Amino acid sequence: MNEPRIRPAAVAGTFYPANPERLTELVDSLLADAAASVRPPDLTPDSVVGALVPHAGLVYSGAIAARTWLLIGDLDPSTIVLAGTDHQAWAAGVGVWTGGPWDTPIGAVPVDRELARQIADLGEPFAPDDGAHRTEHSLEVQLPLLIRACHATPIVPLAVSPRLAGHAEAGRRLGRLLAERRSAGERILLVASSDLAHYPPASVCEEVDDRLLEPLLKLDGDLLGELDETLVRAGRPGLVCGLCGIDPVRFTLAAVAEMGAVRGVLLGKATSADAGGDPRRTVGYAAAAFA
């Protein structure tokens, strides 16, 4: 029998340091800073079923992403299902990685291949599709933080395509499967990866992000999609999209509602300007828990 294919790191040295010592130092610093932030006290392993995390380069979005991953580490999940943006639209719908571990400069992250196969077996739009993940950064950039915060917790990577039709129904189907596994005692979490507003000035970025977070934290994927289109059509300076990962986010909102979530809880938000980026051309980031 052939060994499952290992997914090599594709964006080490660009989205995060390729040097193991530098990467460990950066990630540990981000997690230490996140530990100083105030967290709502009622986010427990029994209540939290999912989360939102940004996926830009760690020097830009890492401070916000670390808040999500620090919480997830404290929740001690048994498996983390990662729903990421398929920027290149390699997948036809939801491409499920069914191969082996994902490598990083500071270690490999195991894959829950049994759960991956169960998700793929849900049928269209779910399908085994390792190729959809080959160069995508939206999930890979999470792994250094996951490794340091969650140690060897296995993952199931999902590439959610912009070609996906029926976000809500697909999400509900996944949510029912994960809810069944959680009811059997497994602490499975579903984590969506997305950045927020792209490329407006910082003040516009903050305004757009605040508008979009309202339906997102209410788990209203349909309103989120409508508002995203409205804001882009309004011609705000520099704005090309409200959420680059709106597909995995809408999919995840439907899934976590099926898993029992009734609200989103904001853990933090910022723009790339807050991390030293050009305030004339910014990207927004947010961290949230779904409970």
Instruction: Check whether 225 has a pLDDT greater than 70.
Output: yes
Given this model, what pLDDT does residue 40 score?
86
Given this model, what pLDDT does residue 2 score?
60
Given this model, what pLDDT does residue 1 score?
45
Quote the CA–CA distance of 82 and 59 in Å, as a whole number.
Answer: 21
Which amino acid does the sequence have at 136? E
**Average pLDDT score, the chain:** 96
Quote the CA–CA distance of 136 and 139 in Å, as a whole number.
Answer: 7
Given this model, what pLDDT does residue 41 score?
84
β-strands 102-104, 188-193 pairing: unpaired
β-strands 155-160, 79-85 pairing: parallel
Sign of CA dihedral 44, 291, 270, 109: positive
- Out of 87-91, 138-142, 232-236, pick the least confident: 87-91
Q: Map out the domains of the chain as residue ranges.
A: 20-290
Sign of CA dihedral 85, 152, 49, 32: negative
- DSSP assignment letter at 49: -
Q: Could you tell me the pLDDT band of residue 86, with boundaries at 50, 70 and 90?
A: confident
* Residues 148-159, mean pLDDT to the nearest whole number: 96
Which residues does 233 contact at the CB level (< 8 Å), separation at least 6? none
Instruction: Check whether 189 has a pLDDT greater than 90.
Output: yes
* Residues 164-193, mean pLDDT to the nearest whole number: 96
Report pLDDT digits (tens) over 228-286: 999 999 999 999 999 999 999 999 999 999 999 999 999 999 999 999 999 999 999 99
The CATH code for residues 20-290 is: 3.40.830.10
Given this model, what pLDDT does residue 22 score?
98
Report pLDDT digits (tens) over 29-65: 999 999 999 888 889 999 999 999 999 999 999 999 9
